[in-house]
Chain A
Amino acid sequence: MSPRAFRRLETAMPWLVIVGTLLVWELAVDLFGIRQFILPAPTAVYAALVQYHEPILASAFFTLINTLLGFGIGIVVGLLIGIFIGSSRLAYAGLYPVLIGINSIPKAAIVPILVLWMGIGQPPAITTAFLLSFFPIAVNVATGLATTEPELEDVLRSLGATRLDILAKVGIPRSLPYFFASLKVSITLAFVGAVISETLASNDGIGYLMLQAASQFRTPLMFAGVTVIAAMGIATYLVCVFIERRFTGWATRKQTMAAMGGG
């Protein structure tokens, strides 16, 4: 195979796998006569998508809004905490164990508490999305800040730079690639958070829609819901990848050049 054809095949691979899986799935359902409320065929899922597109779209929009709001708060809080613990050893010592503790609590266990405080619906969904998404951002930004070369810090300090100067000129630019990398992880987690909360405590959203569908054994509709969540997750992930490429080219360009040089 020529290298060119190989590369074309490489980009086509994900699509081939998806199409292949759907085909096998469809055939298997037909062949073994699996009943629809156990495992609907892809065509049945598609039919459900088309038939219920209005409630699905409305729910999806609700979920997307909750996710993005939670993610937005997660970015702000994650950045602040990351900068704080990344630039002060005392703050690191004090806060890092607490953060690890918070992060290791299964968030589904928190939703009832949130409901107690804020009622059901949007507030707990946003909060859960936030709680899941801020952690990777905080940890990554802190790591980026902590990897500043001590010699560079010496150079700047002997010029009379304040800690704020060093943060602005070196620390934050240096941690940007870490920050953007963490966005990819966080946006996916934000979706997880929003959907968990909607499933447990909401009258709206994809999570609620799926719970309803499940109680009525409308399995194709449930699969339609999963498909929509997956599509939104992938789309927002790709947006984050795009932003990452756009803003932190300097962190990856070196490798790309090297790879190009190697043919």
Chain B
Amino acid sequence: MPNGALSIVDKAAAPAAAAPFVDIENVSLRYGESADTLAITDLRMTVGKGEFAAVVGPSGCGKSSLMKLVTGLLPPTTGDLRVAGARVTGPLKIVGMAFQNSTLLPWRDILSNTMLPLEIVQPHRNRLRRNRKEYEELACNLLATVGLRGFEKKHPWMLSGGMQQRTSLCRSLIHSPELLMLDEPFGALDAFTREELWAVLQDLWMQRRFTCILVTHDLREAAYLADVIYVMSARPGRIVATHRVDLPRPRTVESTFDPKFVDIVHKIRSEIAQARSDDRQRTAAAGAA
């Protein structure tokens, strides 16, 4: 099968709606050999199909490592990961990803940067040459929905950081992946641009309903975007709390002043503070011993 080990595109083989799309069972991850390089331990987490999940936690708790595990870029040390019902044994092949730095290619213009995945993912890869016009239109339309109409022929360095990040988002979605992984995609942006892009991302998600896992430091961002928020402990990371965010969509900046919203953000903040102080006590105890 051209799409590799996973049958994400094969609707017939897709699991029932109730079955989780991403299923992480007791996963642990160790970098290197010694015990203190344990990055993730006993992690359990499930994300339903079409669900928007956010992962928050103290710095260095293993959030980025978790992304690599789910996408199959790193094998877990122990435990089992399933995506779309299939065990993850290698890179997933059609996942969309975006990071804090936009990682655009400086020698390509915005349009061809956006179209990069089409040059790799099947069946687009084989069809691209003959249906170039059609695909370019697809990319232009996507760029237009994030407010980048007219910038197609510009090069990345002519764009602001926020615009580069929008491009990166388009690049991660151009091939209509069923799974989108975002690692602090708006981390380097100013508060206003960030809130603008929350709305952009939410719109895209509401139109396309891909499954999304978002790693973020910003608790308001998590509560604005996600259906469910996972809180991780300090290193070695595991899930210490799960919150459902039952606010109606589309959410707006107004929603962030909703008492329910404020409540969730407060709760998570105190949980993370707790996780960090637990960690400090543990290191202190270990140092004393």
Residues of A within 8 A of B (CB): 149, 151-152, 154-161, 165, 169-170, 173-174, 176, 248, 250-251, 253-254, 257
Cross-chain contact of A157 among B73, B116, B181 (Cβ < 8 A) = B73
Question: Do B116 and A169 touch (CB < 8 A)?
Answer: yes
Query: Would A158 and B99 count as touching, CB distance under 8 A?
Result: no
Which of these, B3, B157, B181, contacts A158 with CB under 8 Å?
B181
Contact yes or no, B72 A158, CB < 8 A:
yes
B interface SS class: loop
Establish whether residues A154 and B4, one from each chain, have CB atoms under 8 Å apart when the complex forms. Answer: no
CA distance A169 to B107 in the complex (A): 11
* A interface SS class: helix
Q: A154-B73, A250-B155, A254-B157 are in contact. Are A159 and B106 (CB under 8 A)?
A: no
Q: What chain B residues lie within 8 Å of A254 (beta carbons)?
A: 106, 157
Of B71, B93, B105, B157, which contacts A154 at CB under 8 A?
B71
Residues of B within 8 A of A (CB): 3-4, 68, 71-73, 91-95, 97-99, 101, 103, 105-107, 116-117, 119-122, 155, 157, 171-172, 175, 181
Interchain CA distance A176-B72 in the complex, whole Å: 31
Residues of B within 8 A of A152 (CB): 103, 105
Q: How far is the CB of B113 from chain A (nearest CB, A)?
A: 11
Are the CB atoms of B94 and A155 closer together than 8 Å? no
CA distance A151 to B97 in the complex (A): 9
Which residues of A are found within 8 Å of B103, using beta-carbon distances? Answer: 149, 151-152, 155
State whether A158 touches B97 (Cβ < 8 A): yes
Q: Give Cα A43 to B229, complex, Å.
A: 84
B53 to chain A, nearest CB (A): 17
Q: In the bound complex, what is the Cα–Cα distance between A151 and B4 (angstroms)?
A: 22
- B119 A158 Cβ-Cβ under 8 A: no
Partner of B107, one of A151, A157, A160, A250: A250
A155 and B120 alpha carbons, distance in the complex (Å): 11
Known: A152-B103, A155-B172, A156-B116. 14 other contacts (CB 8 A): A149-B101, A149-B103, A152-B105, A154-B68, A155-B97, A158-B71, A158-B91, A158-B92, A158-B181, A159-B93, A160-B91, A160-B92, A173-B105, A173-B107
B93 to chain A: closest residue by CB: A160
Establish whether residues B157 and A161, one from each chain, have CB atoms under 8 Å apart when the complex forms: no
The smallest beta-carbon distance between A48 and chain B, in angstroms, is 49
